[in-house]
Amino acid sequence: MKILVTGGLGYIGSHTVVALQNKGFDVVIIDNLSNSSLDVLAGITEITGKSPDFEKIDMRQKEDVVSFFEKHKDINGVIHFAASKAVGESVNKPLAYYENNLGTLTTLLQELQKIESAPLIFSSSCTVYGQADKLPITENAPIKPAESPYGNTKKVGEQIIEDTCNAYPNFSAIALRYFNPIGAHSSALIGELPIGVPQNLVPFITQTAIGKRAELSVFGDDYPTQDGTCIRDYIHVMDLAEAHVVALERLLNKKSEDNYEVFNIGTGTGNSVLEVINAFESANQKSLNYKIAERRKGDVIAAYADTTKSKTVLGWTPKHSLQSALKSAWEWELALSKKE
């Protein structure tokens, strides 16, 4: 079966391509290389022993997407990652985010209506919940006003897909609301490649540990949590990749209860920033230079998933611990430093 993965050379996309190829799927990747590189393609090939098809396409160029689908009429399913993803940047460049994240989604959905049966997995986010009223967060938690244009593109993206599913009963889709992906493939051949200053905690930790950054800033220690720092649900990227394969198989095997479904993808455990720092230090025998800084605008206090639905309905359970994810992140940082 032939699966299209948009943004398939990005962080989560590349690990999902590995999981798909290991399950015997034929993969074709679309990526514009704005946040990735061809080295990732080589890493995927080395890990799986198979090179996925790749086409460099910017999905904002509608005619290029149309001609891609004219050429690839045998696509059986799509996993859609291609999007801009920096929260801070989205505040300064909202129109670029709406064009790149929503315009491209609309184009993709229009093309999928021309194919007899090609279901969609959408890369969504727990940002749609904002600061949830109750923890852990279930899929029925109210969707809050977005804290940023990025968060809004995920919220509106879900609405566009749900409206499409309502209008076209033969079309099916699943939105996966991820919590906080971390870590890297155990081979250390692919991993997270932040451009510039990392926006996420774990790459900042690994870059500080290796000496690329002088110190790590912990944004706020006066939150109403056990140690005053924010709490998140950190999930190993390979567990997240496996969830995409399980969700895709659910659609391909027509096991869905509805033609539009939503699942939380997290571990169900919340860890504070200081707990993650301590876990990294103990997993890798490294001490980190960190300081407490001012709170960061837009950060919610705590977010972690209720994973009951993903376990019982989707049949997916994460396998990796926080320590193993942090160990793999450090091994990836070490591998990167050898290339530089």
pLDDT tens-digit series, residues 277-336:
999 999 999 999 999 999 988 788 999 999 999 999 999 999 999 999 999 999 999 999
Pick the catalytic residue: 97, 129, 150, 178?
A: 150
**97 part of the active site:** no
Strand pairing report for 77-80 and 120-125: parallel
Selected from 3.40.630.40, 3.30.420.130, 3.40.50.720, 3.40.50.300, the CATH number assigned to the domain covering 2-182+234-265 reads: 3.40.50.720
Listed residue (230, 233, 232) closest to 294, CA to CA:
230
Q: Which amino acid is at 102?
A: L
Rounded Cα–Cα distance for residues 17 and 245 (Å): 9
Domain ranges in the chain with CATH number 3.40.50.720: 2-182+234-265
Q: Indicate whether this model's pTM tops 0.85.
A: yes
Q: Is the pLDDT of residue 160 over 90?
A: yes
> How much of the chain, in percent, has pLDDT values that exceed 70?
100
Task: Say what the pLDDT of residue 93 is.
Answer: 95
Q: What pairs with residue 290 in β-bridges?
A: 216
pLDDT digits (tens, 9 = 90+) for 86-100: 887 898 999 999 999
Arithmetic mean of pLDDT, 198-211: 95
Q: Residues 11, 192: contact at Cβ < 8 Å?
A: yes
* Helix (H) or strand (E) segment spanning residue 5: strand 2-6
Greatest C-alpha distance within the chain:
56
Extract the tokens encoding 124.
Answer: 């969504």
Task: Say what the pLDDT of residue 199 is.
Answer: 83
* Helix (H) or strand (E) segment spanning residue 265: strand 260-265
Task: Say what the pLDDT of residue 148 is.
Answer: 87
Task: Say what the pLDDT of residue 340 is.
Answer: 75
Cα first-last separation, the chain: 38
Rounded Cα–Cα distance for residues 137 and 242 (Å): 21
Task: Say what the pLDDT of residue 298 is.
Answer: 76
Per the model's pLDDT, the better-predicted residue between 212 and 296 turns out to be 212
Arithmetic mean of pLDDT, 13-31: 98
Question: What's the pLDDT band for 116 if we cut at 50, 70, 90?
Answer: confident
Task: Say what the pLDDT of residue 197 is.
Answer: 86
Q: Which of 61-70, 84-93, 179-188, 214-223 has the lowest mean pLDDT?
A: 84-93
Q: Is the pLDDT of residue 249 over 80?
A: yes
Q: Looking at the domain 201-232+268-335, which fold is it?
A: UDP-galactose 4-epimerase; domain 1 (3.90.25)
Domain ranges in the chain with CATH number 3.90.25.10: 201-232+268-335
Question: What's the pLDDT band for 339 if we cut at 50, 70, 90?
Answer: confident
Extract the tokens encoding 104.
Answer: 């491209």
Question: What's the pLDDT band for 85 if we cut at 50, 70, 90?
Answer: confident
